Structure 1
Amino acid sequence: MHSDHREIPGSRAARKDEHVDLALDQRGAAARNEFDELDFVHQALGGVDADRIDLGVTIPFGAGARHDAGEWHWRTPFYVNGMTGGTERTTRINRELAIAARETGMPMACGSVSVALDDPDAARGFAVIRAENPDGFVMANVGVGRPAADAPRAVELLGADALQVHVNAVQETVMPEGSRDFSSWLSSVEQLAAASPVPVIVKEVGFGLSRATLRRLSDIGVRLADVSGRGGTDFLRIENARREAGEYAMLTGFGQSALASLLDAPADAPTLLASGGVRTPYDVVKALAAGARAVGVAGAFLEAVGPDGTGGGAERLIALVEDWKARTRAVYALLGATTRDELLATDLILRGRLREFCADRGVDLRGLASRSEAPRA
């Protein structure tokens, strides 16, 4: 689904189809992850009327070299995160995802468009997103290390409102055809962001963004980041399955979860989005309460449309999204929050590996557990 290491376009396209199968193989019974290690303190008389709840979110972003500062307003607090594109099979998947995004008001990102930038025959697998959703919020996607000139090309291909730049050092390390030279990546991100005519969202692909990384991104002018943590589709496992000996299983569990990344983030971090291991609307609410402005979902939505876009297609995903909206609203009401911002006053209890990580990193656990008692601004 990700990685922009240069190779023969045909082999890269085959790899995209292989990634879909390997990602779906990881679905099935929802495995536990660190979303299960965050609890809310229940306030039995603190609930609100669900009819008062506004699920919309505001995503502020700073000025770039080629765009002014501003903010986006999304109707849903979750969105279709970047997955795939570039083959006949993944074109069908993207079409169904785009139709569902159009009908439900969700933003949508695509998978890496690099295959289309190198091979124009693959462009239809991405352009279909804008064709099916002409007025929706669409994010293009390129990988770090691409030439800066590819930023405007990727944006033009989809008529995109934003550009995801993905960083995937762990995946590249395990990928048989992957890169091993990451020394120029920070400079590459800076150049891609400067060249983009729309705001850039730097995102991991499932291993988290640390406090230091978020500060480095802020220092080079990046104003939006998706922490994309461990716990969902595991690209280490996917790439290791493509190796005959599976010798990189030794890295299993590497990286940080989305919640760990959010709670560890510095005050001067870019505006944060979150993804990685989001299985249910309850996980969405937990990520929002931990500091995300919106939450990306991939595996659950891919499973809904099916492995080639015909398993349930857009119709099934539309029904799922409407169900997610209803259940998200129900959890908001239970927690006494009418907006995403009010979730930041809920009391959070951390357990297990998540608590250990946050304690070691100096996160104020007592403060998180008593946020509702803090004076209101």
Structure 2
Amino acid sequence: MTRAQRKQDHIKHALSTGQLRKTGFDEVAFVHQSLPNIALEDIDLHTKIGGLEWSSPIFINAMTGGGGEQTSKINEDLSVLARETGMAIAVGSQMSALKDTSERSTYEIVRKYNPEGIVLGNLGSEATVQQAQDAVEMIRADALQIHLNVIQELTMPEGDRDFKGALERIGLIAEGLSVPVIVKETGFGISREAAQALSRTKIAGIDIGGFGGTNFSRIENQRRERMLHFFDDWGIPTAISIAEAHQATDLPIISSGGIMNSLDIVKSISLGASAAGMAGVLLGKLLGDGLQATIKEVNEIHTDIRYLMSALGCETLEDLHQTPLILTGHVYHWLMVRGLEPERFSRRGI
């Protein structure tokens, strides 16, 4: 099977397997503020990550590219979506274009339709510094994502089986590039230990890519004769991974993994994230209802975020880091046994 065919399979299976809704956000609740002392017009949705300023707390996370005309059209529409809504956008792994130059156009189209926007390149942790530089040059990327996908590779029939030296390569890439490097998981979460290790490099941020959204184990299992079902429920739920990573490092944290609506985004930021990536839900909306309907949906999500921040008395995203939260169920238990003091979230502002 070619890389292009595999990319097309990923799109098909991502849509068919859907979102798991096991992120943990349903076990996170806000403490109501009866005296918010704020006006809706005062809300500021800007955020800063790695020296880059984003006008939206949402960005379009890495999805595709390298799959021929089908993925080129998807990336074109996603690029227009980002341009029209002020979101940053990340492309899918560019390794296919580095190995087959005929696939470059499926990534370059993102910059073509969004020449002034914030665009993130993407490579796996197996990449060299030279490949990272080439990926940045290919789309004039403002930052580069390095993705960690051990479980996907193990489940993928033709996947990698050697993960030695990943942290060292990430460190070399972060030192060797002139743009910020953000390390992201691909749906299985970043632990406190991993965040601490990554923070000793010169990366600019961590996208925790938590469990509970699009599940690449389930996707790759669709392509196997002998399925590895034990990986289908493997990972750190998104809400928990944000808390783990945020306590482990001062680096900006990005939430992704099953982010479906404005409430998930605001909860993410309140748990410690600086921005939230959306992928599967935007792809489903785009392919199901079209580009204009997806632009409208994102604009409405921005409005909803402002309503939620008004109700909480938070003018900025940083203010959300101090709003009190009540954690229950599995989220509370996990953080408790991990020594992460879930009660501290409920005592903010006291």
Q: TM-score, normalised by structure 1?
A: 0.89
Find the partner of 1:262 among 232, 237, 242. 242
Equivalence for 2:329: 352
Alignment of 1:146-165 (within 5 A): 146-165=127-146
Q: What RMSD over aligned residues (CA atoms) do the two structures have, in Å?
A: 1.5
Post-superposition shift, 1:183? 1.6
1:365 is matched with 342
Contact 2:120 2:142 in 1 (8 A): yes
SS at match of 1:230: coil
- In structure 1, distance between residues paired with 2:302 and 2:252: 23
Which piece of structure 1 moves more, 213-222 or 75-84?
A: 213-222
Hey, what does 2:3 align to over in structure 1?
A: 12
Residue of structure 2 in register with 1:114 after alignment: 95
Q: Please state how far the C-alpha of 1:300 moved relative to its aligned partner.
A: 1.1
Structure 1 Cα separation of the partners of residues 162 and 89 of structure 2: 31
Q: Does 2:271 correspond to 1:280?
A: no
Aligned partner of 2:318 among 320, 341, 345? 341
Q: Please report how far the alpha carbon of residue 185 of structure 1 lies from its aligned counterpart in structure 2 after TM superposition.
A: 1.2
Residue 231 (structure 2) aligns with: 251
Q: Which residue of 2 aligns with 1:203?
A: 184
Q: 1:174 to 1:269 in 2, by over 3 A?
A: farther
Match of 1:50 in 2: 40
Spell out the pairing of 1:323-342 with structure 2 (5 A cutoff): 323-342=300-319
SS in structure 1 of the partner of residue 75 of structure 2: helix
* SS of residue matched to 2:52: strand
Instruction: Point out where structure 1 has 5 or more consecutive residues left out of the alignment.
Output: 1-9, 62-70
How many positions carry a matched residue from both structures? 348
User: Which residue in the other structure is 1:37 paired with?
Assistant: 27
The percent identity for this pair of structures is: 38
Superposed CA deviations along residues 104-139 of structure 1, whole A, max 9, x for unmatched, are 111000000110010010011000000000000000
Letter in 2 for 1:371: R
Shift of 1:144: 0.8
CA contact (8 A) 2:104 2:138 kept: yes
What stretches of structure 1 move > 4 A for 4+ residues in a row?
none
After TM superposition, list the pairs within 5 Å mapping 1:186-197 onto structure 2. Answer: 186-197=167-178
Q: Establish whether residue 220 from structure 1 lines up as the match of residue 197 from structure 2.
A: no
Q: Which residue of 1 aligns with 2:166?
A: 185
Structure 1 residue 229 and structure 2 residue 210: aligned?
Answer: yes
Could you give the per-residue CA deviations for residues 19-54 of structure 1, whole angstroms, max 9, x where no partner exists?
Answer: 0011111237x7353111111111233363212111
Asked if structure 1 preserves the Cα contact closer than 8 Å seen for 2:22 and 2:213, the reply is no
Q: Give the alignment partner of residue 26 of structure 1, picking from 12, 17, 37.
A: 17
Q: Which amino acid in the other structure matches residue 188 of structure 1?
A: R
1:220 to partner: Cα distance: 2.2
Q: In 1, are the aligned partners of 2:65 and 2:92 still within 8 Å (CA)?
A: yes
SS in 2 for 1:372: coil
- Offset, 1:143: 0.6
- In 2: Cα distance, 1:343 partner to 1:269 partner: 16
Q: TM-score scaled to structure 2, two decimals? A: 0.96
Amino acid at match of 2:193: A
